């Protein structure tokens, strides 16, 4: 099975359904890149994924806390021009990291117990739009925000549904007048939810062999979804030995972000 293609032994119809599902998931994914201090973004120092949820007229970008816990991050996208493609990087953040707190028995003090592996920031849409339209090549173009509008309070069911995620791996940045970004997707379909471990993370058993950590580079923060596209988690890491992917239980923390409603 090719790493970036559905299993060729599946029927043509199943392969096409998988491609359509992955394309749907990739439509939610925000590609995040971190530059090296004092150097251009053609030399990225870090990669991550994220997704945007909308609450009323506000937009929130979520990603894995361990990935976006410091430095300046950029939302990187390809924009189609009339005769070429442009790779555009818009600054986002800083990200706020969630923490778990404990209350003393007498209620007199609150202590930070431990970090939660999720970072979030509110997108300044006016500022992003201004930066987007400042590029004369993008005259007439509209900044599109790929926001998720579904629930965030659903939990996975053990051995009942097959879960999946998709992210863009960075292939090559080519400085040719404009920056052209070549990408290929990394993904997993057919994952089964096993349990929530002692660290408070969902454990998903892969439907195929772990593809090696290099294959998933930049996938941290990518949404994990049900077959009908409902986001229930995000990628936090994995184990090649155990053939597992670990995810954040979004239902535990959505209310802290004021995002956990049935119709966002």
| Token pair in block for residue 135 | 């590029």
Over 80: is that where the pLDDT of 96 sits? yes
Q: Name the token pair of 122.
A: 């509110």
CA 235/CA 242 separation, integer angstroms: 16
Burial class (CB in 10 A: 0-12, 13-18, 19+), 15: middle
Cα–Cα distances (Å) from 45 to 41, 72, 183, 217, in that order, read: 8, 11, 17, 12
The angle subtended at Cα 67 by Cα 22 and Cα 246, nearest 5°, is: 55
Q: How confident is the model at residue 112 (pLDDT cuts 50, 70, 90)?
A: very low
- Please determine, for residue 113, whether its predicted confidence score (pLDDT) is greater than 50: yes
Domains of the chain (ranges, CATH numbers): 12-102+109-257 (2.40.10.120)
Contacts of 143 (CB under 8 A, 6+ apart): 128, 129, 132, 133
- Residue with the larger pLDDT of the pair 13 and 9: 13
- How large is the average pLDDT for residues 232-258? 87
pLDDT at 186 over 50: yes
Contact call for residues 138 and 79 (beta carbons, < 8 A):
yes
To the question of pTM greater than 0.75 for the whole model, the response is yes
Please give the Cα distance from 218 to 205 (Å, whole number). 20
pLDDT higher than 90, residue 127: yes
Mean pLDDT estimate for the chain: 81
Per-residue pLDDT reduced to its tens digit, 162-185: 999 999 876 555 444 444 556 778
């Amino acid at each position: 099975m090719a790493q970036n293609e559905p299993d060729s032994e599946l029927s043509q119809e199943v392969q096409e359904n998988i491609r359509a599902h992955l394309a749907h998931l990739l439509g939610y994914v925000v590609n995040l890149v971190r530059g090296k201090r004092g150097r251009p973004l053609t030399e990225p120092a870090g990669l991550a994924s994220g997704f945007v949820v909308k609450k009323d007229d506000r937009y929130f970008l979520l990603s894995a806390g361990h990935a976006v816990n410091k430095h300046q991050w950029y939302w990187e996208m390809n924009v189609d021009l009339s005769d070429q493609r442009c790779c555009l990087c818009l600054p986002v953040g800083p990200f706020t990291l969630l923490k778990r707190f404990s209350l003393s028995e007498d209620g007199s003090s609150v202590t930070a117990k431990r970090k939660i592996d999720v970072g979030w920031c509110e997108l300044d849409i006016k500022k992003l739009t201004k930066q987007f339209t400042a590029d004369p090549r993008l005259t007439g173009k509209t900044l599109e925000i790929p926001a998720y509008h579904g629930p965030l309070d659903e939990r996975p069911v053990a051995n009942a549904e097959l879960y999946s995620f998709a992210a863009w791996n960075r292939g090559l940045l080519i400085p040719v007048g404009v920056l052209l970004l070549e990408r290929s997707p990394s993904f997993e379909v057919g994952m089964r939810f096993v349990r929530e471990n002692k660290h408070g993370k969902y454990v998903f058993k892969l439907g195929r062999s772990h593809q090696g950590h290099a294959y998933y580079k930049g996938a941290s923060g990518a949404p994990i979804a049900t077959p009908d596209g409902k986001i229930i988690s995000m990628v936090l890491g994995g184990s090649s030995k155990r053939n597992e992917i670990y995810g954040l239980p979004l239902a535990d923390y959505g209310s802290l972000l004021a995002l956990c409603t049935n119709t966002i």
